[in-house]
Amino acid sequence: MLELLSNFAHTTGIYEFMNSPWGWPTAESIHFLGLCMLIGTIGVFDLRMLGFGQNISYKDLHKLVKFGVGGYLLNVTTGVMFLTTAPDQYIFNPAFQTKMLFMLIAGINMLWFYATTSSQVKATEAALAVSNRAKAIALVSLVCWSVIIVCGRLITYFRPPYHWCLWC
Amino acid sequence: MAIVVGINFAIALRLIGWVPQFNLGPFNRFYQIHWVGATVVLLSGLGLLLAYPAKALTNPVFYLKFTALSIGLLIAAWLQKQIQSNRLRNFATAKIKAIAALSIVLWIIAITAGRFLAYTNSVLLASRFF
C-alpha cells in the first residue's frame, strides 16, 4: 500500500513538486482555500436548512453548492498530493484516520440528502422550515466538516513514529 | 478562519453575480456567525503572536497576512452595513463588484500568507536578540 502510493507520487512528479522549496506550503494554501469554499457554500446551506437566514430561497442558495464541489475537488487533489508524498505519515496517523472516517460519513450523508431530501428542500418556500430529516442531515454535515477541519490540523501533531494509531 | 473566509466568499460571489440574485437582507444572520469566527481568529492569532512574538514580528509575511486580514474584515463590516441599511439594492454596480472581487483576493492572500508563515520564519525565539 505504502509502496503503491509512493510510486504514484514519484512517477507523476508529485513527489518532486512537493519537495521543492514552495511545493508543500503552496499545496497547503490551495487545500485551505478549497476548505473555505466548501464551508462558505455547503456550510452556509446547512445553516440555512437549520433555520439561519430565513427568507433566503433554498433553491437559489443551493446554487452556491457548485463552488463547494469545486472546493472539494481542490481538497481531494491536494490531499492526494500530501498522502502520496509521505504516505507513512498519514496512513498510520490517528488524526488522518479519524478525518477519513468523518469524510466517509459526510459523503454518505450527502448521498442520503440527494437521494431522499434535496428536491423537497429546494421546493420549500423561503419563509418555511425544512423537514426534520433535512435538519438532521444538515447538522450531521456541519459536525462532520468541523471534525474534518480539526483532525486536518491535528495531523501535524500526531506524526508517526511518535504517535501511532491507538486502535491498530 | 474557514467560517470567516467562507461566508465572505459566498457574499462576494453573490455580489459579483456568479450565483443567483437571492435576497441579501436575511444574510445578516450569517454575519453574526462570521463575527464570532472573526473573534476566534483574532484571539487565537493573538495567542500565537504572544507565544512566539519574534517568529511573527521578524517575518514580512506576517505583516502581509495581517494587512490582508484587516482590510478583508473592514470590507466585511462595510458590506454588512450596506446590506443592513438596504443600500445595496443597486448592488450590481461596478464599484460593488470590484470591492467584492477585492475581498476574495484579500482572503486568498491572507490564507496563503498564513500557510507560508510556517515556512518563512528566520527567527524563532526572542532570546536570540539578548
CA distances from B115 to A32, A83, B90 (A): 9, 18, 37
In this prediction the ipTM stands at: 0.80
Q: Is A50 on the interface with B (CB under 8 A)?
A: no
* CA pair distance A78, A34, nearest whole angstrom: 9
* CA pair distance B12, B104, nearest whole angstrom: 7
Domain boundaries, chain B: 2-129
Task: Give residue A168's pLDDT.
Answer: 60
Q: Kindly state the average pLDDT of the residues A47-73.
A: 88
CA distances from B61 to B69, B99, B124 (A): 12, 23, 14
Task: Give residue B20's pLDDT.
Answer: 73
Q: Which of B122, B105, B38 is nearest to B73 (CA)?
A: B38
Q: Kindly state the average pLDDT of the residues B5-34.
A: 84
Q: How does pLDDT run across A62-71, given as a tens digit for each residue?
A: 888 888 899 9
Domain boundaries, chain A: 2-158
Task: Answer yes or no: is pLDDT of B13 > 80.
Answer: yes
Burial of B3 (0-12, 13-18, 19+ CB in 10 A): buried
3-state secondary structure of A19: coil
What letter does residue B86 receive in the DSSP assignment?
A: T
Asked if B9 and A35 come within 8 Å (Cβ–Cβ), the reply is no
* CA pair distance B31, B8, nearest whole angstrom: 9
Asked if B30 and A47 come within 8 Å (Cβ–Cβ), the reply is yes
Which of A33, A82, A128, A144 has the most B C-beta neighbours within 10 Å, making it the best mutation to test the interface with B? A33
Contacts of B7 in chain A (CB under 8 A): 40, 44
Q: How does pLDDT run across A94-118, given as a tens digit for each residue?
A: 899 999 999 999 999 999 999 999 9
Facing B10 at nearest CB: one of A44, A54, A57: A44
Q: How does pLDDT run across A3-39, given as a tens digit for each residue?
A: 888 888 889 999 999 999 889 999 999 999 999 999 8
Asked if B22 and A60 come within 8 Å (Cβ–Cβ), the reply is yes
